[in-house]
Structure 1
Amino acid sequence: MTQIKNRVPAVIVLAQFIVASFLVTAGLAATATEFSSSATIRDWTNSIPRAFLKDRHLRLYSGAESEQVLFEGEWEKVRVEAQEFSYNGATLKRDTSPPALPDLKSSWQEIAVIDVAQGNRLLRAFAPNIVPAERGHGIYVQHAMGDVVLFRDATGKLQLVPFDGKPADVTIDRRYSRHELASAAALFLEKELKASHPDKTAFVLLWQPGERLRITFLDLKERESLVLFPPAEDIPRGRPKLGGNLKTLASFAIVDNGWGFLKNPVSSATRTIHQGVQWTGTFFDPSLRDRASTIPPLTTNAPGMDLVAWEQWLDQRFTARERGSIRLLLNGEGFYPEFERRVAEATNKVDIHVCIFDRDDVAVRMADLFKARSTNIAVRVVFDRLNTRGAGGAPPATPMPDGFVPPSSITSYLRDGGEVRVRPLLNPGFSCDHSKVFIIDERYAYIGGMNFGREYRYEWHDLMAEVEGPVVASMQRQFNKKWAQAGVWGDCGLAAETMFRAKPHYESTNSADWIDLRRLYTKTFDRQIRRAELEAIDRARNHVFLENSYLYSNEMILALVRARLRGVDVRVIMPGENDFASGHSSNLVTSNFLRRHGVRVYFYPGMSHVKALLVDGWVCFGSANFDALSLRLNREGNLATSDAEFAARFRREVFETDFAKARELKEGIAVDWSDHLSDALLNPF
């Protein structure tokens, strides 16, 4: 067993991570400041405040009666219930002239306050409860600042190391996301607090695992866990600067439309016409009206669709089948370390085609790696200009490292101090390229839903896949054409690349794991992904599983309902949280509609960015969401296959795993006119 020396005690470090997980599950950690290191913290640490609760309105009275300070916060009930505890956040407001303490006859209920000493003791007691007892086994823990592995060494002692420093002989038995860690902590606290305070159901807990005080609210009756943020007065350091809207708009008008049309006259004109045609088409999508009063039973033993005939149907209409192997890389810890290792070991070139190249610490780390490698191999990067600019102005949900200052421009940062060649993709007519394909040495390709940014590494549930085999040569060919078109010669460069450049050739003969794969695209006037996915769902006879955070297309929703009314087992996974508030409202309306028609709807804890479909053994995944933007307007890239072994693995590792983690919707969620308005407005998108 590998020996780990000179480490901070694991229970202390994990306690800090648990607090961080509570803080960021609410998604507000990047927008709240800490209590300053003033008398306020010392007062709260040395004297226990009194807490009063009424209808999700909390008051905390601190200090002596003559110098009393009130901190109060309000919040709304989380609309999607969690498996155990819901999570939310509220920013406290300070009142130095507070109203008098509520009397016993008022509707305010005084609740228990757990002081710092008790709070820290509870945190320290929690760690041994979630780590396997077996030596050499441990858990993966995702937290606000990164990720770690907590395990028992050869002596049975708890050890904690960064994820990339995990000893090779340690077996990870379970993965804890931030939400799952916070949920496990809440369940542990519930048991402990019921034993010590049997007559109480609501608590304010004070923690101080480091120098700063943390405050959490826990309601055992309402099943709510809440992080209480101190009053925010300004934007914390290390956060990307907001603003620049006029500059962005002017740049879009001059560069994307002016320069874009000059160098790409043919493609810009056709894309603009395509945008107009497709936008118009979305307004003729059918509305979500109830289709049936009774739901037929499931035909669980029915054979699936004829996959041989299905693949032949695809052969006649779309790209040909090609050989290759696929290795699934789930979540940030599954993809990023593996991809970084491949980049570090590259001997010839690295080609990156990404939608968003952010400016946060994770994106900058990737940029630094590309710049370091560019001194001895070729590194080419293309990214969507509009999406990258937009993402760079938005703060991440989790805090970046202390002292980190994002570069003002990721384009300039990539070009400075190295030999990385960068070509932003222009956006005439607000068209976007949403693809994510990374190729190393023309041997390894990566495809899926991840961009370069903190949310993909540490915050969201997502999926990428490593691909090898002859199909990589076709993906390389597609990149070469994209690179040529993004250059100064534009459409002329694309024509030259298409007509005169030799096609890449995949040299490896290791074909033991190769299966039939098919590349599917959304391109100008070529909506392959939409046509294939809708047709597959309409052919389904046994099961349809779908996971996505942006299921806005009424066409797709109604196809799912039609399948269920034929007796097909239809299940949909949506995120319990969404990076887009209106999108969450739309998902609630959609979930109710699907549930009324017998579709099983699940809400994944936190944000799931997975874009996946499984229909009777046919798998389709990649960059395309299930909305009009991906199915009609953006440029997208997916992979599809009917290989039985891979489909079974995909079902097991993606869908069955996520069904187990998610909460199934058993009854309708209350929605109002604003939710229906959001849903109606998003249908064209």
Structure 2
Amino acid sequence: MQWRRMKVGSVLKRVALAVAAVQGVTLLTLVAIDQHRKRHRAPARFPRVPARSVTAGGSEVTLYTYGEDLYYDMLGAIRQAKSEIFFETFIWKNDRIGQSFKRALIEAADRGVSVYVVYDVFANLVVPRSFFDLPPTINVRRHPLIASPFRMIRNSGRDHRKLLVVDHDAAFVGGYNIGSLYATDWRDTHARLTGDIVWDMRNAFIDYWNLFAGRHQPALPDYGSEHWQPDIRVHRNLPRLLVYPIRNMYLDAIDRASHRIYLTHAYLIPDTNMLAALMRAAERGVDVQIIVPQESNHIVADWLSRGFYGQLLASGVKLFLYQGAMVHAKTATIDGQWSTIGTANIDRISLLGNYEINIEVFSAEVARQLEAIFEVDRSNSRQLSATEWGGRHAMVKFSETVLAPLRPLL
């Protein structure tokens, strides 16, 4: 009996090693294809929607779909700051755009503005360390790879948030990182917020900062608000507290849908519940449309995402592949009433791992604006049919199956 168990164990071990080897070869092949593709990629071209402001209760929401327009207004706000700047980003490139933000923040600190900066160390490993040598007049938190080895799971999340708050006047949130590539070559979505909701965005930054406050990093004052904002809510994933409300926000909104769901996402790797919610919505007659990149900046994420296409198409979900540029937006609008804009992708890393921030907006005006943006993006996309997808090469199907066990990692 013991001999049989040893033999079975040996066989299972060999099978596991064989599967791992096939996965490794597949991943290396995809990386090689991706490097070749990036070297020969044509200049990005895509339709643009001018920034437009709409109201949501006691706040104003301006939606940006082109990086240069967004950066112009963000830098303008920093240069006009009088008392306080909270700046938080995932990627901050050492290029023309990145240097512009660095100079603007230093100049603000030099004129007496209290400047607080947060960036993710892991996301910027390829950026020269010297770029982040900011003067002592700027308060800096470098979000580390692992904050504490004693609380590995609770502290391993990346700070994927992109947030700027200037005084009590304006806040910016969305998918845009800071860099020249994103200014012209990526299709992303960001929001500028003014009015009552600015307190909520300030509070989101303060709460994150104070999670890690200590002797070398004093806590920020925590003030209450005189206004309750019923039209916009801020949802924050906080791994250190094991709080992940953005996923539940999506699931609740999708379950409520009765007419249409429009999603635009850079990476679509839904968990079982998210996948089922989208499929159930389509099966009960909701017009579910999803825009994803034809080719994203992460080829492995693309292949993991494609493993869900068959089920989605079979249930009636319509998939559109964005052409000519990387679409990096993280937006949704449902039934012409509900919308969300933020930093969280539809994947496990964002919804159950990273520090993320999304706004949830109950406004017909904001929904109409996002629907208009969706229609423009759809005009630059190719619809994927179930027939086309079912007819892909057998080797492609095999590769998707081999990579399927990696989905929980993304």
Aligned with residue 344 of structure 1, among 50, 58, 79: 79
1:378 paired with 2:107, answer: no
Using the size of structure 2 for normalisation, the TM-score is 0.77
Residue aligning to 1:49: none
Residue aligning to 1:517: 232
Aligned with residue 635 of structure 1, among 349, 355, 359: 355
Residue aligning to 2:45: 179
Residue aligning to 2:180: 454
Measure, in 1, the Cα distance between the counterparts of 2:301 and 2:63: 27
Measure, in 2, the Cα distance between the counterparts of 1:471 and 1:408: 35
CA shift for structure 1 position 352? 0.3
Residue aligning to 1:533: 250
Using the size of structure 1 for normalisation, the TM-score is 0.47
CA shift for structure 1 position 322? 8.1
Residue aligned with 1:647, SS: helix
Q: Which runs of 5+ in 2 are unaligned?
A: 1-29, 48-55
> Which structure 2 residues correspond to residues 358-369 of structure 1 after superposition, within 5 A?
358-369=93-104
1:612 paired with 2:331, answer: yes
Aligned with residue 548 of structure 1, among 241, 245, 265: 265
Residue aligned with 2:308, SS: helix
Residue aligned with 2:71, SS: helix
Measure, in 2, the Cα distance between the counterparts of 1:324 and 1:527: 25
Aligned length: 348
Measure, in 2, the Cα distance between the counterparts of 1:579 and 1:659: 20
Residue aligning to 2:368: 648
1:623 paired with 2:332, answer: no
Which AA in structure 1 matches 2:59?
Answer: G
Residue aligning to 1:489: 215
1:660 paired with 2:341, answer: no
> Which structure 2 residues correspond to residues 97-116 of structure 1 after superposition, within 5 A?
none
Cα-to-partner distance string for 1:328-354 (whole Å, 9 max, x where unaligned): 111212211111112122222221022
Relative to structure 1, the CA distance from residue 535 to residue 477 in structure 2 (aligned partners, 3 Å threshold; closer, same or farther) is closer
CA shift for structure 1 position 506? 7.8
CA RMSD of aligned residues (A): 2.9
Residue aligning to 1:576: 294
| Runs of 4+, deviation exceeding 6 Å | none
Relative to structure 1, the CA distance from residue 467 to residue 180 in structure 2 (aligned partners, 3 Å threshold; closer, same or farther) is closer
Aligned with residue 437 of structure 1, among 132, 139, 163: 163
Residue aligning to 1:357: 92
Residue aligning to 2:62: 327
CA shift for structure 1 position 470? 1.8
Measure, in 2, the Cα distance between the counterparts of 1:482 and 1:604: 34
Identity, in percent, stands at: 26
Cα-to-partner distance string for 1:564-615 (whole Å, 9 max, x where unaligned): 1111101110101111111111233323332222211001112111001112
> Which structure 2 residues correspond to residues 152-171 of structure 1 after superposition, within 5 A?
none
Relative to structure 1, the CA distance from residue 506 to residue 360 in structure 2 (aligned partners, 3 Å threshold; closer, same or farther) is farther
The answer to whether the 8 Å contact 1:322/1:471 transfers is no
The answer to whether the 8 Å contact 1:357/1:410 transfers is no
Relative to structure 1, the CA distance from residue 322 to residue 634 in structure 2 (aligned partners, 3 Å threshold; closer, same or farther) is farther
CA shift for structure 1 position 487? 4.1
Q: Higher relative CO (CA 8 A, sep ≥ 6), structure 1 or 2?
A: 2
Residue aligned with 2:67, SS: helix
Aligned with residue 409 of structure 1, among 127, 130, 141: 130
Cα-to-partner distance string for 1:215-273 (whole Å, 9 max, x where unaligned): xxxxxxxxxxxxxxxxxxxxxxxxxxxxxxxxxxxxxxxxxxxxxxxxxxxxxxxxxxx
Measure, in 2, the Cα distance between the counterparts of 1:322 and 1:479: 22
The answer to whether the 8 Å contact 1:604/1:658 transfers is yes
1:567 paired with 2:285, answer: yes
CA shift for structure 1 position 637? 0.7
CA shift for structure 1 position 422? 1.6
Q: Which runs of 5+ in 1 are unaligned?
A: 1-75, 80-86, 92-142, 145-177, 182-320, 393-406, 508-513
Measure, in 2, the Cα distance between the counterparts of 1:478 and 1:493: 17
CA shift for structure 1 position 90? 7.0
CA shift for structure 1 position 483? 2.7
Measure, in 1, the Cα distance between the counterparts of 2:174 and 2:46: 24
Residue aligned with 1:374, SS: helix
Structure ranking higher in helix proportion = 2
The answer to whether the 8 Å contact 2:45/2:185 transfers is no
Measure, in 2, the Cα distance between the counterparts of 1:89 and 1:370: 33
Cα-to-partner distance string for 1:117-153 (whole Å, 9 max, x where unaligned): xxxxxxxxxxxxxxxxxxxxxxxxxx96xxxxxxxxx
Measure, in 2, the Cα distance between the counterparts of 1:504 and 1:333: 35
Which AA in structure 1 matches 2:115?
Answer: V
Measure, in 1, the Cα distance between the counterparts of 2:61 and 2:98: 25
Measure, in 2, the Cα distance between the counterparts of 1:486 and 1:410: 23
Residue aligned with 1:351, SS: strand
Measure, in 1, the Cα distance between the counterparts of 2:257 and 2:359: 19
Measure, in 2, the Cα distance between the counterparts of 1:579 and 1:588: 15
The answer to whether the 8 Å contact 1:574/1:603 transfers is yes
Residue aligned with 2:312, SS: helix
Which AA in structure 2 matches 1:625?
Answer: N
> Which structure 2 residues correspond to residues 236-251 of structure 1 after superposition, within 5 A?
none
Relative to structure 1, the CA distance from residue 569 to residue 367 in structure 2 (aligned partners, 3 Å threshold; closer, same or farther) is same
Cα-to-partner distance string for 1:517-553 (whole Å, 9 max, x where unaligned): 1111222332211112112212211111111121112
Which AA in structure 1 matches 2:98?
Answer: A
CA shift for structure 1 position 180? 4.7
Which AA in structure 2 matches 1:381?
Answer: V
Cα-to-partner distance string for 1:334-375 (whole Å, 9 max, x where unaligned): 211111112122222221022222333321222122122221
Cα-to-partner distance string for 1:44-98 (whole Å, 9 max, x where unaligned): xxxxxxxxxxxxxxxxxxxxxxxxxxxxxxxx9xx9xxxxxxx96777xxxxxxx
Residue aligned with 1:526, SS: coil
Which AA in structure 1 matches 2:278?
Answer: L
Relative to structure 1, the CA distance from residue 676 to residue 411 in structure 2 (aligned partners, 3 Å threshold; closer, same or farther) is same
Relative to structure 1, the CA distance from residue 324 to residue 612 in structure 2 (aligned partners, 3 Å threshold; closer, same or farther) is same
Residue aligning to 1:198: none
The answer to whether the 8 Å contact 2:64/2:70 transfers is yes
